[in-house]
Amino acid sequence: MPAFICTACGMQFAPTPQPPAACPVCEDERQYVPPGGQEWTTLEELSRSSANAWRVLEPNLFEIVTTPAFAIGQRAQLLRTPAGNILWDCITLVDSATIELVRSLGGIKAIAISHPHYYSCMVEWAQTFKVPIYLHAADRAWIFRDDPAIVLWEGERKELPHGLTLICCGGHFPGGVVLHWPGGAEGRGALLSGDIVQVVQDRKTVSFMRSFPNFIPMSGPAVERVVKALEPFAFDRIHGAFPTRTIWKDGKRVLKSSAERYLAYIRGDGSAELL
C-alpha cells in the first residue's frame, strides 16, 4: 500500500489503498489547499522527478534541499558533531543518492523537527537510518504516520549529545522548537530556527507569524515567549528554514530588535509607523 504524500505541504500519511480524502495540514488556517485542488504523490514518484542538492553552510553544517523545489520548499540541515550527526528539520525526498551521501558522512544519530510543517517523510528517514525522531508532544495531533521511532518530549528543553539543546518556543505551533548549537558560528553559537524564528527576505531581520502564506500574525505575548525561551542561550548566527535565509552575525541583537519592531506594530499604538 502506498504512503501518500500531499504535494502542497509535503506531508506523508500512513499507507492506505487510496489517497486520504483531504490533507489536514493544508486545510488548517496556517496553510492552504492550492487553487487546482488537493493532489498526491508517492516517494517513488517524487524520486523519479527530483533530487536533493547539498550546500555547506558552515563547518559541520550541510543544507539539503530538493530540486526542483517541492511543496513548502524548506531545507533540512545535517549537523555533524563528534557524538554523531543530527538531521534538523526534514524534507520529503529521501532517495538513494541522499542515503549514500548521509551514510558516507557517518549516518545520523537522531532527527529533530521544529514543527509539523516539516514532518514530511520523517518516518522514511527514521526507518532508513534506524534512528529516533524527537518531536514536541504539544503537536502530537499533527502526526499522520505514526511509528515507534517517534519520541515525544515535553516541557521547555531537551538536551541532546554534544551540548545541543532543543528549545520549545511555541508560537507558530504550540510545540514550535528551535535547536541551539553552541559550536556553531565558530564557537559563538547558532540557532537552527525553522519557521519558529523566521529569517525573512531581507536576511537582516527575523519575524514571527502564525501563518506565513495567509498573513496571520502572532500575538504579542507569543512573540515575547519566543524571545524569553531563547534568552539564556548564546548565539551569533540564525539558520532559518529556507535556502539563503541565514543571519550570519549579530543574531542575538537581530532577534531582540526584530521582536521589538514586531511588538511595536502589533500593539498598534502608531509609534512604529513613525520610526
Cell numbers given for 128:
532508513
In the chain, the amino acid numbered 134 is: Y
Q: Does 199 bind Zn ion (CB under 5 A)?
A: no
Nearer to Zn ion, 23 or 64 (CB): 23
Q: Does 26 bind Zn ion (CB under 5 A)?
A: yes
What is the Cβ-side half-sphere exposure of residue 118, based on CA atoms within 13 angstroms?
A: 33
Q: How far is the CB of 271 from Zn ion (least distance, A)?
A: 30
Q: How far is the CB of 38 from Zn ion (least distance, A)?
A: 8
CB of 175 closer than 8 Å to CB of 155? no
Cα separation, 123 vs 111, in Å, equals: 10
Q: Which stretch binds Zn ion (CB under 5 A): 95-103, 116-124, 176-184, 263-271?
A: 116-124
Cα separation, 247 vs 134, in Å, equals: 25
From the list 4, 12, 23, 206, which residue makes contact with Zn ion (rule: CB under 5 A)? Answer: 23
From the list 5, 25, 218, 254, which residue makes contact with Zn ion (rule: CB under 5 A)? Answer: 25
DSSP letters for 217-242: EPPHHHHHHHHHHHTT---SEEEESS
Q: Which residue pairs, CB below 8 angstroms and at least 24 apart, start in 182-185?
A: 182/234, 183/60, 183/81, 184/58, 184/61, 184/235, 184/237, 184/239, 185/58, 185/235, 185/236, 185/237, 185/249, 185/251
From the list 4, 5, 6, 12, which residue makes contact with Zn ion (rule: CB under 5 A)? Answer: 6
Q: Does 195 bind Zn ion (CB under 5 A)?
A: yes
Residue with cell 534506524: 130
Q: Does 117 bind Zn ion (CB under 5 A)?
A: yes
Cell numbers given for 266:
502589533
Cα separation, 6 vs 26, in Å, equals: 9
Q: How far is the CB of 4 from Zn ion (least distance, A)?
A: 10
Q: Which stretch binds Zn ion (CB under 5 A): 25-33, 55-63, 224-232, 253-261?
A: 25-33
Q: How far is the CB of 83 from Zn ion (least distance, A)?
A: 28
Q: How far is the CB of 274 from Zn ion (least distance, A)?
A: 32
* Positive or negative: CA dihedral 164, 181, 232, 154: negative
From the list 4, 5, 9, 169, which residue makes contact with Zn ion (rule: CB under 5 A)? Answer: 9
Nearer to Zn ion, 23 or 113 (CB): 23
Q: How far is the CB of 57 from Zn ion (least distance, A)?
A: 20
Q: How far is the CB of 196 from Zn ion (least distance, A)?
A: 8
Number of amino acids touching Zn ion (CB under 5 A): 8
By CB under 5 A, name the binding residues for Zn ion: 6, 8-9, 23, 25-26, 117, 195
